[in-house]
Structure 1
Amino acid sequence: MRLKHITQVIGIAALLSVAGGCSKFVDINSDPNNPTTAQLSLLLPSTEISLVGNMYALNSGTATFVQHTIFTNGLSRYQQQGTSFDDPWTGFYTQTLNDLQSIITSGAAQDQWGYVGIARLEKAYLVTLMVDMWGDIPYSEGTEEGPVNVSPPFLKGADIYEKCLVLIDSALANLNSVAGTSLVPATADPIYAGSKTAWISMGRSLQLKLYNGIRLVDPTRSANAIKALLTDPSKLISSNTADFTFKFGTVQNPNNRHPWHRSEYQGGKSFYMSQSLIDLLFNNDDPRLRYYISRQNTTAGLNNSNNSNGYYGRNPGDGTASPADQSRRSSFGIYPAGGRFDNAAINNLPPANLYLTNTGATGTAKVLAVTDGTGAGIMPMITYAMVKFIRAEAALTLATGDDARISFRDGITAHLSSMSSYAAANGGNALAQTAIDAFAARLVAQYDAADDAGKLNLVMTQKYIAQYGNGMETYSDYRRTGLPVLRTPLSPLNTFPLRLYYSEAELTANTNLGADPGQLQLAQQTTPVFWDK
């Protein structure tokens, strides 16, 4: 299913649920000839839905680069094409950004500053994410990046970051100008249900993420900005309930389930699970393996062997053709895709394991079907766990005065607790709090014994594991730090991509790209984003 169709399905289903949740939805407009308020109420959820819906290929492709999963053999071998990320590029510009600008323009004219503030934060989040992925991109304060100008100029990524930092300040001022704690009707905001406090914490956490992301460019500026944010850390995302995540639904017709569930639980499978990630979790007694990966067979193994433990994935960079293994390969589990929780026994666990064990493993593996799992997965964009790991990284590299050790521990426990609560609410098993605390304590002991480089490696490795489901942030982290060390691809066709290929349609239509846009495209593979020093 092409992404534009997926996005339409998500949008229709979600908007139907928005409308159904408000009995007087059609009565919002007292004047049928002046429907501006209703347009804002419709546009805001549309932007949140299209933001996440258009991430499918972007998230899956970058997750392949960092070995979270394997979306296509070509991307696993670092071979991009002009169509690899065409759908998200086009969708972000023609759908999400245009709608956001409409909210900003119309909302300002109506003094609807809650809508304006939220839209500005969404825009800053999305545009800086696009810079992280592509580097230099079209950008303006208005709508010219969309269909109004078919040949928009490309701005430098560093300049766009500066504009977005100003945009965030404006957004926070907009939100703070709204009296009370509620910004918009709850049904018009699928992510935060109109919570003023939550959106402000998202905005300040976005600032934290961006300043940490550019720390190699101007460490003094980053350190000072982060120290200022840490004068009141309670205004950052400070609990799992305040996570900036999008929650998918359970409906099949129209389908609003997590894209990975739709891909793998309803017909033929297009993904392989990354053997690199499987081995990382298995070899480190990490209980998250049962939540991330669901097995269809308890003895299948690498290369479709029949003498392993059912965790049948594919090594990064494996260019061989796929065998007849649709009913044997492992797939996405309960978290974050809303798939099936794997509670079957694992037949070769080390006896010394404490956390990845067969205690209570009473389930069986099965060929996955549309009825397995709920599909009500999540897209984690900025979470409490991420904030804690960012604070740990910044403390170690910028001397922000924060306690890196405590942030490291809190990031681990936050993620395990969030995953456990989600699983328990969606048909899986919860982790005991004692197990979560003990698992975190073991990693803290490793942290205490490590030198500075080892401490940073532990922080980035745990962030890498906790960000499963968001390949985009992990892709940026890896380019900035080189951590964790990834498995060498078996037969790469190119070097590790430092930027994504532009949309082929953009290169064909945009006359501002010079005489040889093909060379610009090829340079994307080896040209660092401005913050990647």
Structure 2
Amino acid sequence: MRYINIKIITLLACISFGMTSCESFMDINADPNNPTDPQLALLLPATQLSIVGNFNTINRGASNVIQHRAAGSLNRWDQTGTTFQSTWLGYYTQAIPDLEQMIDTGTAEEAWGYVGIAKLQKAFLYSTMVDVWGDLPYSEAAKVANPKFDEGEEIYNSLFALIDEAKADLNRSFAVVPSSDLFYQGSRDKWIKFANSLKFKLYIQTRKVNPSVSTQGINALLAENNLIDSNADDFTFLFGSSPAPETRHPWYTTAYSPSRDGYVSMVVHDRLREQDDPRLRYYIFRLNERAGLANSQVGEGYYGRYPGDGAASPADQQTRAIVGIYPCGGVYDNGMIPSLPNNDGLLNNIGATTGSTANSFRLVLFANGDGTGAGIQPLLTNVMMKFYRAEAALTLSTGEDAGALLTQAVTANMQAISALSPAFPISTSTINAFNSRLLAQYQAASAEERLALVMMQKWIAMYGNGIESYNDYRRTGLPALVELISPLDDFPERFFFSETELTSNETVIEIREQLQRDQQITPVFWRR
């Protein structure tokens, strides 16, 4: 990861405000006497920013479905044709055409580094889109006016081949301007690790469709031993701290604005409190440490909502809890938690401030430089890979030690959290103590209980990437969701298509109503 320079800030602004195209920016900065390299060097960050910038809407939706957040209609399982329209249009009018242009131009000019990266980003993007939408335009996308909808399983199968093509391209030759690559700064080695890790992810996702193929593919990748294996290899986007143009994490800009945005999930709070988890102080920040549910003043500041709560919001913008320092670059909660009985637990009051946590807000914001919005968007990380490998060991008998992988995943997650909170890191002794307790639970558990323990820890670690937990839940049924207070529909098996697509694409206009309803109730192909 790297901080964003002025040129990239401008590109991000193009995406942040109205999801408009950055073509004019690229035209202005292209050198007509040497068009190819500048074009590819500008297209690459544009595609990366479009992938991340348009990710937020589907990530918010999934985070509400999977109970990481408590906001919006999907907190009650309700969606419409406009819920994800901006992301759908952003991907099909920005990211995908630019990726295809990168592949075409790079192939013509034999700029194989750009070609390989574009193909890997295309594979990542389409796999994400299939995971949330199922069938969608692929083979004819960005090529014809009314592209047909391809089956999700067929798209997935083609992505395996696309990843192999990308690896071959990267190994032909590699010359990428480091500053144009926001993820890996032109590192071929890291892109190859990403390629292998993405393939591993697709095998895990489809393990119930064809277990033998997934097992064989995963074992081959483990034997190759070139996966994302440290936080330094993470496929993670780092946001900036500029409010104008806006480069801050989208969760920060909405939570730390006067109007706020939804509520923190009390499910997150409860599960972290139940297991004496120090991550609570990093995930949730209390604006008023006396606030309780329903805007009462008899709580400890953890004023959020439970899933499916459809009650109107009172004037509680100054009392509801908000997202903390992780993942959005907000504020670490260093205030007292009165109900903690002593300081023997891993979640304790050692070093905590007394009085209102608003004092902690001011202290951290001005003294330690936190609360800037310079958060992260984890997309495919070391933490995820350790959990994938643990799941594969438990369900496909790949031979790895799932218990060791579980504790490695938790360690990596806590280290990633500490990296965003250098003033208040999670100590090594705390991480070791948490893992010792966790490993004892794992060793005492049955095979079924072990998978449940792994998936619960992954759900906690995936705070900030709800799509990952949405996929996990549909694939494994774990961890169990809390019953909704007042659901408005069935559990959403997939997300609704863009209404604009359904009313303008001639291949689906006549069946659009049934097609949309099927999105709510028909599982994606890999959910067997």
TM class by shorter-chain length? over 0.9
Name the residue aligned to 2:132.
133
RMSD: 2.3
Which residue pairs with 2:407 in the alignment? 409
Deviations 1:218-241 (A, max 9, x none): 0011001000000133x1001011
Residue-by-residue CA offset, 1:368-413 (whole Å, 9 max, x unaligned): 7998701110000011011000000000000111111111111111
Tell me whether 1:188 sits opposite 2:184 in the alignment. Answer: no
Of 230, 240, 264, the match for 1:239: 230
Structure 1 residue aligned with 2:281: 290
Identity over aligned pairs, percent: 47
Cross-structure match for 1:395: 393
Q: Name the residue aligned to 2:324.
A: 333
| Contact 1:10–1:53 (8 Å) recurs in 2 | no
- Whether the 8 Å contact between 1:245 and 1:380 is mirrored in structure 2 is yes
C-alpha separation in 2, matches of 1:385 and 1:10? 33
Write the distance in 1 (CA, Å) between the matches of 2:131 and 2:306.
Answer: 26
| 1:246-395 → structure 2 map (5 Å cutoff) | 246-351=237-342, 354-362=345-353, 364-366=356-358, 373-395=371-393
> 1:46-61, aligned counterparts within 5 Å?
46-61=46-61
Aligned to 1:451: 446
Contact 1:317 1:489 in 2 (8 A): yes
Give how far 1:34 is off.
4.2
Name the counterpart of 2:35: 35
- Deviation at 1:365? 1.6
SS of corresponding position for 2:357: coil
- Deviation track 1:231-274 (CA, whole Å, cap 9, x = no partner) reads 133x1001011100000001111110000111121331122101
Whether contact under 8 Å (1:285, 1:354) holds in the other structure is: yes
C-alpha displacement of 1:149: 2.7
1:7 aligns with 2:15: yes
Per-residue deviation, residues 128-159 of structure 1 (Å, max 9, x unmatched)? 1100000000002xxx413x533211000000
The equivalent residue for 2:217 is: 225
Instruction: Report the secondary structure of 2:106's partner residue.
Output: helix
Measured in 2, the distance between the counterparts of 1:301 and 1:71 equals 17
Q: Aligned residue for 1:145?
A: 141
Aligned counterparts of 2:327 and 2:78: Cα–Cα separation in 1: 27
CA distance in 2, matches of 1:6, 1:104: 22
Going from structure 1 to structure 2, the CA distance change for 1:318 and 1:154 (only over 3 Å counts) comes to same
Amino acid of the structure 1 residue aligned with 2:302: Y
Q: Distance in 2 between matches of 1:366 and 1:282?
A: 21
Q: Secondary structure at the match of 1:379?
A: strand
Cα distance, 1:472 vs. partner? 0.7
Whether contact under 8 Å (1:498, 1:524) holds in the other structure is yes
Q: Which amino acid aligns with 1:124?
A: A
SS at match of 1:511: coil
Cα deviations by residue, 1:313-354 (Å, 9 ceiling, x for unpaired): 111000110111011001111011010111111111243752
Offset of 1:509 from its aligned partner? 0.6
Instruction: Give the deviation of 1:70 after TM superposition.
Output: 2.1
Report the AA paired with residue 145 of structure 1.
Answer: A
Equivalent residue, structure 1, for 2:494: 499
Q: Counterpart of 2:243 in structure 1: which amino acid?
A: Q
Aligned counterparts of 1:71 and 1:505: Cα–Cα separation in 2:
24
Residues 357 and 383 of structure 1: CA distance in aligned 2, closer, same or farther (over 3 Å): same
Asked if 1:482 is matched to 2:477, the reply is: yes
In the other structure, the counterpart of 1:86 is 85
What residue in structure 2 maps to residue 109 of structure 1? 108
Deviations along 1:10-62, one digit per CA (max 9) or x if unpaired, are 999x99xx9xxxxxx97x94xx3441211101000001111000011110010
How many pairs align? 507
Counterparts of 2:341 and 2:510 in 1: how far apart (Å)?
60
Q: 2-side partners of 1:104 and 1:71: how far apart?
A: 39
- Equivalents in 1 of 2:374, 2:176: separation in Å? 24
* AA in 1 matched with 2:126: V
What TM-score does the superposition give when structure 1 sets the normalisation length? 0.91
Distance (Å, rounded) in 1 between the aligned partners of 2:115 and 2:19: 21
SS at 1:437 equivalent: helix
Q: After TM superposition, list the pairs within 5 Å mapping 1:160-171 onto structure 2.
A: 160-171=155-166
Shift of 1:171: 0.5
Match of 2:4 in 1: none
Offset at residue 519 of structure 1 (A): 1.1
- Distance in 2, matches of 1:311 and 1:230, equals 43
Give the Cα–Cα distance (whole angstroms) in 2 for the partners of residues 191 and 516 of structure 1: 40
For the residue of structure 1 that corresponds to 2:288, the secondary structure is coil
Matches of 1:136 and 1:324, distance apart in 2: 42
Specify the SS of the correspondent of 1:314.
coil
Indicate the residue corresponding to 2:466 in structure 1.
Answer: 471
Do 2:120 and 2:166's aligned partners in 1 also have CA atoms closer than 8 Å? yes
SS of 1:515 mapped into structure 2:
helix
**Structure 2 spans left out of the alignment, 5+ residues:** 1-11
Deviations 1:410-434 (A, max 9, x none): 111111112112211xxx4011111
1:66 corresponds to which letter in structure 2? I
Structure-2 residue corresponding to 1:528 = 523
Q: TM-score, normalised on structure 2?
A: 0.92
SS in 1 for 2:526: coil
Structure 1 match to 2:207: 215
CA distance in 2, matches of 1:379, 1:221: 31
CA distance 1:272–1:125, change in 2 (3 Å): same
Q: Matches of 1:150 and 1:269 in 2, distance apart?
A: 40
| 8 A Cα contact 1:9 1:254, kept in partner | no
CA contact under 8 A between 1:249 and 1:257: conserved in structure 2?
A: yes
What amino acid does structure 2 have at the position aligned with 1:501?
F
Query: What residue identity is the alignment partner of 2:129?
Result: M
- Secondary structure in structure 2 of the residue aligned to 1:245: strand
| 417 and 8 in structure 1: CA distance in 2 versus 1, 3 angstrom threshold | closer
List per-residue Cα deviations over 1:101-122 (Å, max 9, x = no partner).
1101000111110001111000
Q: Retained in 2: the 8 A contact 1:316–1:488?
A: yes
Secondary structure of 2:141's counterpart equals helix
For 2:6, the equivalent position in structure 1 comes to: none
**Which amino acid in structure 1 is aligned with residue 119 of structure 2?**
R
Check the 8 A contact 1:301/1:307 in 2, yes or no: yes
CA pair 359-386 structure 1, distance change in 2 beyond 3 A: same
